[in-house]
């Protein structure tokens, strides 16, 4: 049974994520330029860092969303015949997509390392030496964190390939935890190095990034893969809604703490580029919370237009991801 309002058509199923990715990269690039987060970099390096950093976030969040969906989907024995066929189709699509996205994530991390090394040493990528790459990756906290992210992406890829061969070989929670760790690491190494209370800052930023990934990735996966299958949606939506509510509370509280650590004073909210990015991101989160409640009520009631509201929420989430990526460069 198809939910009222319809789900994404086959073509739209692929166009929607591409459009969301474009919004993320565009927002990140514009914010980085306007705030001078990468003012010392040449244009090719600026573009390279922005695209790879945003792309890493997009791919990582998508991996979290797909693995979360795998945990939220109902058991086969609880579904009638047609819904069971839909469940098998959705699981297969999610597993195949996870392989592609994890491989993309790993590739973007590795390419992003080159651009960030080029920025650190003030040299074109083509002129970098192996020693400079090793030095950046081993001696700087950001470098070690990026290497850890690459390792997490590799774990997700390995688990995804194994699950594609036999889903029972690897529990879906294993790649989900690896993906969350990979996403948390850049924020922790980028935001908390100079914080006065380092331990609290690490916990705050980690919880913030993890909750955001579960919320954004989960909604995107539900919208693209589940929204058109009403029996699956009825089973997934209540569980996701409860998780989303918890994520909103976590993001709000940890966002306030993280802003305090990053700004130093509340006056910096309007006097620094970092502070203005924080305000813009906070504004997006307020609107997202309102849209999220509206979209979930419409999805649960089967009211039209379902996808318009959920799609708008996810698009705004994509912009927020871009602002978050810019924040990691401005910090």
The string of pLDDT tens digits covering residues 9-32 is 554 555 666 666 666 666 666 666
The string of pLDDT tens digits covering residues 141-158 is 888 889 999 999 999 999
The string of pLDDT tens digits covering residues 157-182 is 999 999 998 988 999 999 999 999 99
Q: Angle CA(173)–CA(177)–CA(182) in degrees, nearest 5?
A: 150
Q: Specify the pLDDT at position 5.
A: 42
Q: How far apart are CA 130 and CA 251, in angstroms?
A: 39
Q: Angle CA(29)–CA(31)–CA(33) in degrees, nearest 5?
A: 70
How many helical (H) and strand (E) elements, i.e. helices and strands, does the chain have? Answer: 11, 0
Q: How far apart are CA 60 and CA 51, in angstroms?
A: 14
Q: Is the pLDDT of residue 87 over 60?
A: yes
Q: Are 160 and 167 in contact (CB under 8 A)?
A: no
Average pLDDT rounded to a whole number, residues 90-105 = 95
Burial class (CB in 10 A: 0-12, 13-18, 19+), 133: middle
Q: Specify the pLDDT at position 159.
A: 96
Mean pLDDT of the chain: 78
Render 147-198 in DSSP notation, one character per residue: HHHHHHHHHHHHHHHHHHH-GGGS-THHHHHHHHHHHHHHHHHHHSTT-SSH
Q: Is the pLDDT of residue 45 over 60?
A: yes
Q: Is the pLDDT of residue 269 over 80?
A: no
Q: Is the pLDDT of residue 131 over 80?
A: yes
Render 50-119 in DSSP notation, one character per residue: HHHHHHHHHHHHHHHHHHHHHHHSPPGGGS-HHHHHHHHHHHHHHHHHHHHHHHHHHHHHHHHHHHHHHH
Q: Are 162 and 188 in contact (CB under 8 A)?
A: no
Q: Name the residue among 184, 58, 29, 108 with its Cα closest to residue 37.
A: 29
Confidence of residue 119 (pLDDT cuts 50, 70, 90): confident
Average pLDDT rounded to a whole number, residues 105-130 = 90
Q: Specify the pLDDT at position 39.
A: 54
Give pTM, 2 decimals: 0.80
Q: How far apart are CA 305 and CA 290, in angstroms?
A: 16
Query: H-helix or E-strand containing 209?
Result: helix 198-221
């Amino acid at each position: 049974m198809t939910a009222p309002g319809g789900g994404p058509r086959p073509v739209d199923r692929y166009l929607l994520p591409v459009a969301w990715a474009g919004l993320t990269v565009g927002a990140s690039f514009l914010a980085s330029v306007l705030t001078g987060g990468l003012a010392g970099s040449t244009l090719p390096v600026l573009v390279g860092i922005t695209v790879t950093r945003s792309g890493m976030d997009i791919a990582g969040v998508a991996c979290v969303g797909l693995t979360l969906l795998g945990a939220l989907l109902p058991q086969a024995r609880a579904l009638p015949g047609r819904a069971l066929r839909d469940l098998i189709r959705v699981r297969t699509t999610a597993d195949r997509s996870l392989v592609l996205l994890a491989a993309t994530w790993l590739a973007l991390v590795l390419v992003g390392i080159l651009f960030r090394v080029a920025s650190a040493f003030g040299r074109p990528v083509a002129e970098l030496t192996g020693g400079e790459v090793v030095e950046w990756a081993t001696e700087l906290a950001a470098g070690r964190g990026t290497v850890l992210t690459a390792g997490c992406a590799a774990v997700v890829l390995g688990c995804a390939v194994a699950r594609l061969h036999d889903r029972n070989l690897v529990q879906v929670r294993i790649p989900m935890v690896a993906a969350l760790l990979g996403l948390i690491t850049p924020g922790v190494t980028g935001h908390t190095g100079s914080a006065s209370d380092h331990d609290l800052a690490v916990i705050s930023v980690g919880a913030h990034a993890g909750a955001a990934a579960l919320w954004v990735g989960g909604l995107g996966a539900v919208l693209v893969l589940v929204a058109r299958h009403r029996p699956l949606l009825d089973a997934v939506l209540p569980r996701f809604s409860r998780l989303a509510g918890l994520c909103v509370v976590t993001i709000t509280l940890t966002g306030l703490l993280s802003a305090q650590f990053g700004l130093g004073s509340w006056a910096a909210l309007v006097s620094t580029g970092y502070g203005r990015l924080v305000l813009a991101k906070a504004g997006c989160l307020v609107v997202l919370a309102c849209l999220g409640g509206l979209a979930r009520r419409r999805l649960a009631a089967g009211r039209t237009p379902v996808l318009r509201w959920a799609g708008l929420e996810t698009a705004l989430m994509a912009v927020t991801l871009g602002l978050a990526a810019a924040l990691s460069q401005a910090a």
